[in-house]
Structure 1
Amino acid sequence: MDAILKSTLGVARNKIEKLFYESKIRVNGKKVLKKSIPVRVDYEIDVIKSVSPKNPAHLYVARIEILNIVAKEDSIAITARRFKNLLIENYETDPYKPSTADEDK
């Protein structure tokens, strides 16, 4: 998963690791418990950017939708749709709560 985020969002792996430890990565709306989970077709991977300043019940996320995965001889080809700045409702199951450090920014 971290390699997919790196290539689709252009984010360094150390930044992805930081986002993981801040619980800002969700797969299909659920918190990610391991950085290197297998990714399947139809997965939605969200990277939480911020809480909406106009409505705290909404979040701005970068979303990756996995459309197709093809195994090749020495690599894997992935087709994905990327939304760099998407406004969504906060997650029903295990909603995101910003830390006080995030609120100060």
Structure 2
Amino acid sequence: MLRNALAANGCIQKRFAKKKAKTGNKRAEESSDEESEEEIDEELEVVKDYKDIEVEMDSIRLDSVVKRALGLTRHNVESAFYESRIYYNGEKLEKKSVDLNEDDEVDLILGRNQENNDLLDVSRIVIRKIRLSDQKETLFAIKIRRFKRLIVENYENPWRGTLINQ
């Protein structure tokens, strides 16, 4: 759209207005589906103490996904594994090379809760979706819901560590 304006010295100035980007019907349908999923999730979650992230990785192994999602070093993840502080779907992790699937939960135990020793402070990641990446076919695009600090009850196979989270 072109607008003309007469300047004080008699010259004509031309200004161009920005055009709005058109969104296709396919894009609108996808976003409405995503919005409806998000609305349902938001209704279930009273307090938003999580962050949804999407990462692209070449492996869906538990140790590499935990490292990337929680921002830890490989050494820290290995130490947590050998100290039995990683739980996979409510069970103590036996092998760190487990491949993750959608709806899996991984907890990294930070320690016992200060206010109640029967509860645990954990960092939790929930695998929301796994698909092949649009950029490279060798990468996986993984949608993750990350809880940096969550208070949970001890597990059926209880964690008996002595860490007290401060």
The answer to whether TM tops 0.5 is yes
Rounded Cα–Cα distance in structure 2 between residues aligned with 1:23 and 1:71 = 31
Q: What is the CA distance between 1:70 and its match in structure 2?
A: 0.4
Q: Which runs of 5+ in 2 are unaligned?
A: 1-61
Q: What is the CA distance between 1:10 and its match in structure 2?
A: 0.4
Residue 93 of structure 2 is aligned to residue 29 of structure 1: no
Residue 58 of structure 2 is aligned to residue 58 of structure 1: no
Amino acid at match of 2:140: I
Give the number of equivalent residue pairs: 101
Rounded Cα–Cα distance in structure 2 between residues aligned with 1:45 and 1:64 = 5
Rounded Cα–Cα distance in structure 2 between residues aligned with 1:98 and 1:33 = 16
- Tell me, what secondary structure is at the counterpart of 2:151? strand
Residue 46 of structure 2 is aligned to residue 10 of structure 1: no
- Tell me, what secondary structure is at the counterpart of 1:17? helix
Where does residue 96 of structure 1 map in the other structure?
159
TM-score, normalization by structure 1: 0.91
Amino acid at match of 1:79: K
Q: What is the CA distance between 1:71 and its match in structure 2?
A: 2.3
| Identical-pair percentage | 40
Higher percent of residues as strand:
1
Q: Give the 5 Å matches for 1:42-81.
A: 42-72=103-133, 73-81=137-145
Of structures 1 and 2, the larger Rg is shown by 2
Rounded Cα–Cα distance in structure 1 between residues aligned with 2:65 and 2:110 = 17
RMSD value, Cα: 1.3
TM-score, normalization by structure 2: 0.58
Rounded Cα–Cα distance in structure 2 between residues aligned with 1:6 and 1:98 = 21
Amino acid at match of 1:2: D
User: Structure 1 residue runs of 4+, over 4 Å off?
Assistant: none
Where does residue 39 of structure 1 map in the other structure?
100
Rounded Cα–Cα distance in structure 2 between residues aligned with 1:15 and 1:39 = 19
